[in-house]
């Protein structure tokens, strides 16, 4: 790894306390950038705005998405600020560089009927890992936690009597989320039965309090969680393009539709900015309009006329 990238990586981890996934994204962006600098035979201390524009043009020509390019512009801004801070460069070539305009489609959500159907079909499975998968599905929808938060969850984090879960989120920030009794019951059933069987499969002699384990009794990975959701689709026949954030979006939208205060939702989701949470009000508004045209008696009368 490039020496300055390594320094920047340490800065993000140790001083900014960024999550490992965020740091990995920064490093990936910079590695792509340095590959480009190598191709055009220059170094970061000689880069001007022309080279930055050339890099962005190269990304567009390679059909890289606008979202990824925007992130890479942000990465380069942070990176050159850091290089100036460390007095490794005298000039920030990202000044006045504009990012591609963002296109922010509203996130897709599952409606409660789809969730109920998915949980019903999954509960009817007869294979070994059914109870773990049922607990995962139920928890994702009833709590809105992130994938990284789910795989790091320990049994000590769960307060069954208070129906709360202690979450360590992005930047090691702690928050308390509520969880439905039904969801906690699925976790309890899994913990009392299948989880004990999975622990027996562990080759690592060290004890673990991690809630969700893979078939070998080890902690789930993010990739492993994605595979589980894909497997659930295959086993239930409900092909909904499942991913962890889909449940998070669905959780938040459900709360908005029931009139929950947006700041409460912000706290439950662990968002730093209220702007991030506000997108769910737009999803709800879109549903109101759609349902109006579908169900409103006046609209039906207009169509009949």
- Residue 103, in any domain of the structure: no
Distance CA 16, CA 18 (A): 5
78 shares its domain with 124:
no
Do 66 and 169 reside in the same domain of the chain?
Answer: no
Does 248 participate in catalysis according to the annotation? yes
Note if 282 is an active site residue: no
Given a cut of 60, whether residue 298 has pLDDT beyond it is no
The single residue of 9, 72, 78, 146 carrying the catalytic annotation is 146
Question: Is the domain of 119 the same as that of 79?
Answer: no
Query: Do 81 and 117 lie in a common domain?
Result: no
Structural contact between residues 167 and 271, judged by C-beta atoms closer than 8 angstroms: no
Q: Which domain holds residue 70?
A: 3-85
Domain count across the chain: 2
Query: CATH code at 31?
Result: 1.10.150
Q: Report percent pLDDT > 90 for the chain.
A: 41
**pTM metric for this prediction:** 0.61
298 in a structural domain: no
> pLDDT tens digits for 168-205?
888 788 888 888 999 999 999 999 999 999 999 999 88
According to DSSP, the residues that pair with 178 across neighbouring strands are: 164
Q: Which two tokens stand for residue 125?
A: 């499975």
CA–chain centroid gap for 82, Å, is: 27
Question: ∠ CA 117-121-122 to the nearest 5 degrees?
Answer: 115
The answer to whether residue 170 is catalytic is: yes
Residues 76 and 139 occupy one common structural domain: no
Determine which one of 71, 170, 175, 189 is catalytic: 170
Q: Single out the catalytic residue among 245, 290, 299, 300.
A: 245
Residue 274: count of CB within 10 angstroms of its CB = 11
Q: What is the reported pLDDT for 295? A: 47
Catalytic site includes residue 146 = yes
129 with 39, same domain? Answer: no
């Amino acid at each position: 790894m490039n020496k300055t990238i390594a320094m920047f990586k340490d800065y993000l981890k140790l001083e900014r306390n960024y999550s490992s996934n965020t740091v990995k994204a920064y490093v990936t962006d910079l590695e792509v950038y340095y590959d480009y600098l190598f191709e055009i035979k220059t170094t970061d201390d000689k880069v001007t705005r022309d080279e930055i524009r050339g890099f962005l043009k190269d990304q567009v020509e390679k059909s890289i998405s606008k979202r990824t390019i925007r992130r890479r512009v942000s990465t380069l801004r942070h990176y050159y600020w850091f290089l100036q801070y460390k007095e490794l460069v005298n000039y920030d070539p990202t000044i006045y560089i504009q990012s591609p305009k963002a296109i922010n489609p509203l996130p897709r959500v599952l409606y409660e009927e789809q969730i109920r159907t998915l949980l019903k079909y999954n509960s009817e499975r007869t294979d070994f890992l059914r109870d773990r998968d049922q607990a995962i599905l139920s928890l994702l929808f009833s709590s809105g936690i992130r994938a990284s938060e789910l795989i790091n969850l320990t049994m000590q984090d769960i307060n069954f009597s208070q129906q709360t879960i202690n979450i360590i989120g992005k930047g090691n920030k702690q928050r308390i989320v509520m969880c439905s009794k039904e969801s906690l019951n699925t976790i309890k059933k899994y913990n009392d039965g299948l989880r004990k069987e999975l622990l027996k499969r562990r080759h690592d002699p060290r004890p673990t309090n991690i809630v969700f384990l893979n078939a070998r009794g080890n902690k789930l990975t993010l990739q492993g969680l994605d595979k589980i959701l894909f497997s659930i689709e295959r086993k239930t026949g409900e092909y909904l393009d499942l991913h962890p954030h889909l449940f998070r979006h669905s959780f938040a939208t459900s709360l908005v539709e029931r009139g929950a205060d947006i700041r409460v939702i912000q706290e439950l989701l662990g968002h730093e900015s209220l702007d991030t949470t506000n997108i769910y009000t737009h999803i709800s508004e879109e549903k109101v309009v759609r349902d109006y045209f579908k169900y409103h008696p006046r609209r039906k009368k207009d169509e009949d006329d």
